[in-house]
Structures are given as structure tokens and as C-alpha cells.
Amino acid sequence: MEILTVSEMTAADQAAIAGGTPGFALMRSAGRAVAEVAGAMAGRGRIVVVAGRGTNGGEGFVAGADLAARGREVSVILLCDRATLTGDAALASAQWTGEVLPCDPAALVRPNLIIDALFGAGLNRPVKGDPFAMIAAMNASGAPILAVDLPSGINGDTGEVMGIAVEASATVTFFRRKPGHLLLPGRIHCGEVEVADIGIDADVLDTIAPKTFENVPELWADIFPSPQADGHKYARGHAVVVSGDLTSTGAARLSARAALRAGAGLVTVASPRDALAVNAAALTAVMVRETDSARQFAELLADKRLNACVIGPASGVGERTREMVLAALHAQRSVVLDADALTSFTDDPQALFTAIKNRSDPQVVLTPHDGEFARLFSALASSHPHASKLERARLAAVQSGAVVLLKGADTVIAAPDGRAAITANAPPWLATAGSGDVLAGIAGGMLAQRVPAFEAACIGAWMHGEAGQEVGPGLIAEDLPEALPAVLRNLYDELGIAY
């Protein structure tokens, strides 16, 4: 589940070498892992390796030599003069006894498979010249492409396309994934990713101490809440969701139902008087309380059993929502702030951040999409114009003092202490009205069960994605809470939780 930056992966390689594993042995293991996948992908046809001058190219030479030794038809195209290769790449080149073709797109003649070994994860500058032309030709060839480590042209730390990038059918990476495998658009360029063991001991992670993870159940399994045989509904927490006015009630109901399905023992919708009848008529297991003002909301929260709040789904942009947020923060409740709650502080974000940081235990999750993020954290855009999504979320978490869940197909969750997780299980049909309201409710349901904010946000994002997968095409937001029982059953089975 650990994700390593390019520099952290370099440190892992160096630690393995310092521990007695030669660098060429790592290269040989990597190349052979590529050959295994390539052999299965190519059938019996011609394989073309497009190699660069560095480690990535060396791994391409090893893969080519291994495939040729198995009787496969293999050609190698090299970006540079073979005589200029040095170090382990030169040793790998020496194992290749076949012809080395110059870097010319015309050499890509009817391949069954192309092995992309040009640049790998370390690229940090735009692709130009011959490499640009070669990548364009590879993409235009119509042949499947297997990328070595990362598709050439993708920045390993940001997922950014550096001018042009290989459109791989599959990628073989080594030891651990990099951010570029999960962040968009890099993830799209990778195709299916296989992580190969090349002989680096996992103990090196103790020294590297990575703070970025893939958002998978292993990340939060130890803290995932499950009902106990002797438990009761109050032990599972009581979430409160703030509703908008008469014309804007559906979003709060979606959040409330999601919080209940996610495991909160009780859920109440705090509703304006004019919307009471509408909310009450549409809700059954979820309770409704009249709450027109922040004063009434504070009175509601005087009951300590109401321990988590979700504010923002269609609650309205303006003073009422701002005051509701400040009342919940002042009451020391765990809080999810979404949509209108975030936009209500656009003119004075520091007031929100100060209120969060003044809490004794700031269990607060902010769930912006990119537009809301840009409005609330406008200063970040000017001070860090080239920051990746991962970097932006981390900076925002530090600035706000809250856990930031930056939504999208590659949702990033970041905590003020530097931890971050990237979520990769969201299907495209989650992009529909009300979907984010359900996500806020799931996270709120986790907070109600006293899950810490970072893990609550991670669990919420992961369960949201799984629910989307469970429903499939044609999904509407109302389907998502109803898919959560199946998601939970599958999760309990995976984690070995009896139910």
C-alpha cells in the first residue's frame, strides 16, 4: 500500500545495494519481470524494445535478451549511440547479441508488442526531439505497449504528461508504486499495473518512512469499526446532517442515509422549519429536528451524544451556514464540511481555519472538488502554481488544520501531519449529481463511530468507490447508500470480521 516518490524509490534501490545486492542484479530482476509479462502479452509475434540510455533502457535490454533466449523474435531500438552507455545499462546492453536499431520511428515495423523502456519514472523535463517522435510513433502503431516502470513521458511524482506520453496497455513497476501510477492523467496512461518483487527487502521502508499510501483496506483495517455483540445504537454514535431550505433538502437526506448505512447508530437531520414537513415525509429511520438558527443548532449539540456533524450538502451559501459551521466547531464535534459550507467561507477562509485550529481535537474533514478547492485555497494557486494534486492537498491540510479530501477520479486525502492517500477505485459513473453528498455522509458516519478524521475520510472515499462499482452503469446518487450493505459484507469478509 506504500507509494514511493522517485527519490524515495532511489533511496530504496541504494539501500538494497548497500545491503549487498548489486545494482545490476536489481536491473536483471526487473528486466526478467518485464519479460514474463511481455511474453504473455505478445503471443508469438515480433516484440520491439524501445530503450533509453539509463536504467530503464538497461531493463529493456535485459527483457529483450531474456525473451530472445526463449526463442522470441525481438528487436531493440536504442535512443542513443550504444557506445555511450555506461554503468549497469552498459552491462545489460552487453547481454544483447542481436542488432541494435537507431532511434527511427520507421523501425517500428508491424510489432505484436512494444516494450517502452525509454525514460521510466525519473523524467522531470518535457519530451522533445527524437524521443517525442518515437513516443508518437509508438502510440500510433496500434500495437499494445508494455511500459517499464512508468510510461515514458509521465512524471513519476505528479502523474503529469511531460509534453507527450506513452499510452501503455500495461505497466510493470518494481517494489512499490509511485504517485504517477495513481494520479491522473498518469493512471490512464499506465493501463494495468503489476508490481514486481526484484529483491528489495521491505525493511528499507522503515528507514524511508513513506507518508503516501494507496487508499486500500490494509491502510485502515486496524481501525475499521465493526458492531459488537453487546453494543447498542448509542455506542455507534449519532450524526447530525444540516439541511437546506424547502427547495434544497435532497442532498442532506442523501448524506443522512449514507451516514446511517455506513454504521452510525443514529442520524438526525437538522432542518429549517419550512422544510420540516418535506424532510419528515421522506425520512423513516432518520430523525428530523427543527433547526433554523445557529443558536438552535448549538442547543441541539448540547446533547453530547450527538458527536458528529455533516454540514454543506445544499445547506445554502451564506451567514446561516457559516454560523452553523462555527457552532459545530465550537462544540468540539467531529465535522465533515462539504460544498456550501466551504463556499460560505470563500471571502474569509482564515476565519474557518482559525476556528479549526483553535479546537482541542480538530477531527475535521473538508471535502472540496477542484472548483471549491480553488475558491477556498486561492492563495495556494498563486504561491504554488505547479503543485500536483497530491502536493496541493497536503499544503491545504497544513494551512487549514483539517484533513482535506480533494475529490475526483483520483481523490487525494491529506492530513496536517503529512500523511496522504490516493484513491484509485472510483468508477466514472460516480460523476453524477448528489454523489458527493453521499461521500460526505459516509465520512460523517465513520466520524460518528469515532474513527479519526484521516481514516474516516479514507474509508469514506474507498467505500464510495466500491459502492459505485457495485451499482455500475446507470448509477444515480440514491443507489449508493443502498449498495453499502454489499460493500460492507465484502469488506468484512476481506478483513475477517464476523457478522
H helix count then E strand count, the chain? 21, 18
Instruction: Give the residue among 86, 42, 101, 82 at the shortest CA–CA distance from 66.
Output: 42
What is the secondary structure of 83-128 as a DSSP string?
GG--HHHHHHHHT--S-EEES-GGG--S-SEEEEESSGGG--S---
Q: Is 346 labelled a binding residue?
A: no
Q: Is 116 labelled a binding residue?
A: yes
Maximum CA extent, the chain: 82
- Amino acid in the structure at residue 107: A
Q: Is 147 labelled a binding residue?
A: no
- Here the cell at position 135 is 513516443
**Strand ordering across the sheet containing 74-78:** 100-102, 74-78, 47-51, 113-117, 145-148, 170-174, 192-196
Q: Is 122 labelled a binding residue?
A: yes
Q: Is 57 labelled a binding residue?
A: yes
Q: Is 43 labelled a binding residue?
A: no
Q: Is 55 labelled a binding residue?
A: yes
Q: Is 58 labelled a binding residue?
A: yes
Note the Cα 412 to chain centre separation in Å: 5
Q: Is 410 labelled a binding residue?
A: yes
Q: Name the pairing type of β-strands 420-422 and 212-214.
A: parallel
Q: Is 437 labelled a binding residue?
A: yes
CA distance 11 to 14: 5
Q: Is 124 labelled a binding residue?
A: yes
CA distance 96 to 88: 13
Q: Is 407 labelled a binding residue?
A: yes
Q: Is 455 labelled a binding residue?
A: no
Instruction: Give the residue among 177, 63, 155, 162 at the shortest CA–CA distance from 116.
Output: 63
Q: Cis check for the bond before 102: say yes or no (omega within 30 of 0).
A: no
The residue whose grid cell reads 504473455 is 40
Q: Is 409 labelled a binding residue?
A: yes
Q: Is 152 labelled a binding residue?
A: yes
Q: Is 64 labelled a binding residue?
A: no
Asked if residue 241 lies in contact with residue 252, where contact means CB atoms within 8 angstroms, the answer is: yes
Q: Is 56 labelled a binding residue?
A: yes
Q: Is 251 labelled a binding residue?
A: yes
Distance from the first to the final alpha carbon of the chain: 26
81: Cβ contacts below 8 Å, ≥ 6 apart: none
- Here the cell at position 426 is 472510483
Question: What dihedral do alpha carbons 158, 163, 169, 175 form, nearest 10°?
Answer: -40
Instruction: Give the residue among 272, 220, 263, 280 at the shortest CA–CA distance from 242.
Output: 272
Q: Is 52 labelled a binding residue?
A: no
Q: Is 327 labelled a binding residue?
A: no
Asked if residue 271 lies in contact with residue 255, where contact means CB atoms within 8 angstroms, the answer is: no
Q: Is 121 labelled a binding residue?
A: yes
Give the number of other CB atoms < 10 A from CB of residue 496. Answer: 7
CA distance 201 to 20: 11
Q: Is 149 labelled a binding residue?
A: yes
Using DSSP, state whether 430 is helix, strand or coil.
helix
CA distance 431 to 477: 9
Using DSSP, state whether 179 is helix, strand or coil.
helix
Residues of the binding site for K(+): 56, 116, 152
Binding residues: 55-59, 116, 120-126, 149, 152, 251, 369, 407-411, 436-437
The binding site for (6S)-NADPHX comprises 55-59, 120-126, 149, 251, 369, 437
- Which amino acids are annotated as binding site for AMP, given as ranges? 407-411, 436
